[in-house]
Amino acid sequence: MKVRGTRLTDEMIDTIIANAFEGIVVVDEKGYIVYMNESYSNFVEVENDVAIGKHVTEVIENTRMHLVVQSGKEELADLQYIRGNYMIANRIPIFNKQGKVIGAFGTILFRDTSEWDKMNSHVKSMMSRIQNYLQEYESQTGVKYSLEDIIGDSEVIVSLKNKVKQIAPSDVSVLIRGESGTGKELFAHSIHQLSNRSSMPFIKVNCAAIPEHLLESELFGYEDGAFTGAKKGGKKGKFQLADGGTLFLDEIGDMSLPMQIKLLRALQEGEVEPIGASRPIKVDVRIIAATNRPLEKMIEEKRFREDLYYRIHVIPFYIPSLRDRKEDLPILANHFLRKISKRTGKRVRNISPEVLQIFSKSPWPGNIRELENVIQAAVHFSVGETLLIQSLPDYFKDSFTINLGVKTLKETLEETEKQVIIGAIEKNDGDKLLAAKQLGISKSSLYEKIKKYKITV
């Protein structure tokens, strides 16, 4: 090997190794020392030329180097009592090309526990600073999630993450589609966090949660005295608050037609007119919209404006349902298990194969949100370190479990029909017309079955 035309000599290698580690020792396949750098020699207070050639047990107190040679298994960050204190060391076996152990090398990570305490305090201090930075970033921008919070390694999720990286730097509008509970908001946050607007505000508006008569003032704001009960001094709307950043219009499919017209005008002109204002205000916002509604059908039914659809639909982004990415179920389930166990303080560490099998059979109408809720309930019901079938909430087990031999065929079919109807209504966020269309029955037939089964969804 050459470095800028100079041959790498044994002396240079020795200098590099001597300075690359706090202390290093190498033994052969029988446990005899073949190398020890000056730092390690000083630590054990033995001359280097005296140590080399001796069995490691004669030189290093309570060593396990010879045992690592015998076992062929590494020992990382292990405590070793030496010179009246505990040091922290690594011991790594050395293999030849045939896979045979021909020796081992050990390194000192920390000479004593006080060094570890100092490092630990330093790491904790740095983590505290990072946490404070993240909290400050969240409070200033409104961003809570990043791409790392999107869990899954299925082909479709990996592809979507790559797509986020591609589209984030641009300013084009994005329409995120997907069923309720699939994680549309996480993707919206991630797009903003990776964009050139990341240091500016990320403002979310849930179009379905705000009453129609308040949505205009919420989006565009109002001037002082604009109407009875208006806040003194007026109020900035979400568009103004998001100026320079991103406005996330969640559940945009639930926006009324009159509000759609006003929103379209704001997007086309790049300006908003607060209620009671005499002149419009210029705003620079990137729009990310999300919905679980079938906007194309709503356009046909004159319930959603086609011109607004094309304004927000520059880049379509579809999030698959959980049942369409079931290969991610184990990693998602274990992620939520760790998160919930840590939050609740319960030591539930594993999920039984039987539970994972049940998860794989569930249709998950509520998607990832439903999975998290089921695991949260199951953790509370668990009595051991493993999440078992009996820990699952009854409502979840009953939603897809058929008790053969317990009920008659008619009862079983009726119970199944009831659960399918409930699932369809929940999937469409209570919209019974859409649920009926999805089930392939008329709206009147659906209402008859709702009445028959006493469904209260």
**Three-state SS letters, 163-215:** HHHHHCCCCCCEEEECCCCCCHHHHHHHHHHCCCCCCCCEEEEECCCCCHHHH
pLDDT (0 to 100) of residue 3: 47
Question: Which position has the token pair 């966020």?
Answer: 429
* Rounded CA separation 386/392 (Å): 12
The pLDDT assigned to 39 comes to 83
Q: Is the dihedral of CA 228, 230, 232, 236 positive or negative?
A: negative
CATH number of 10-110: 3.30.450.20
pTM value? 0.60
Give span(s): CATH 1.10.10, the chain: 409-453
**In the structure encoding, which two tokens stand for residue 196, read together?**
């050139």
pLDDT value at residue 404: 46
Q: Give the three-class secondary structure for 386.
A: strand
pLDDT tens by residue, 226-279: 777 677 778 899 999 999 999 999 999 999 999 999 999 999 999 999 988 889
Half-sphere exposure at residue 285, Cβ-oriented, CA atoms within 13 angstroms: 32
Q: What is the pLDDT of residue 226?
A: 73
- Structurally, at CATH architecture level, domain 323-404 sits in Orthogonal Bundle (1.10)
Residue labelled with tokens 């559940």: 251
Residue of 22, 37, 48, 45 whose CA lies nearest to 108: 22
Q: Using an 8 Å Cβ cutoff, are 186 and 149 in contact?
A: yes
| Cα 316 to Cα 339: distance, rounded to the nearest angstrom | 31
Domain with CATH 1.10.8.60 in the chain: 323-404
Locate CATH 3.40.50.300 in the chain: 147-318
**CATH 3.30.450.20 domain locations along the chain:** 10-110
Tokens of 141: 């921008």
Q: Which of 265, 259, 286, 68 is nearest to 173 (CA)?
A: 286
Among candidate residues 294, 254, 256, the one with its CA nearest the CA of residue 437:
294
274, 222 Cβ separation under 8 angstroms: yes
Q: What are phi and psi of 149, to 5 degrees?
A: -80, -10
The C-alpha atoms of residue 174 and residue 347 are separated, in whole angstroms, by 41
Q: What was the pLDDT predicted at 318?
A: 95
Task: Identify any residues that bridge with 162 across adjacent strands, giving them in sequence order.
Answer: none
CB 393 within 8 Å of CB 381? yes
Token code pair at residue 111: 């000479």
Tokens read off for 403: 């008790």
Architecture (CATH level 2) of domain 409-453: Orthogonal Bundle (1.10)
- Report the C-alpha gap between 344 and 351 in whole angstroms: 17
CATH fold of 147-318 reads Rossmann fold (3.40.50)
Output the six-digit token pair for 60. Answer: 């290093």
Q: Are 92 and 106 in contact (CB under 8 A)?
A: yes
| Intervals of the chain under pLDDT 50 | 1-3, 404
The pLDDT score that the predictor gives to residue 399 is 57
Contact in structure between 164 and 194 (CB atoms under 8 Å): yes
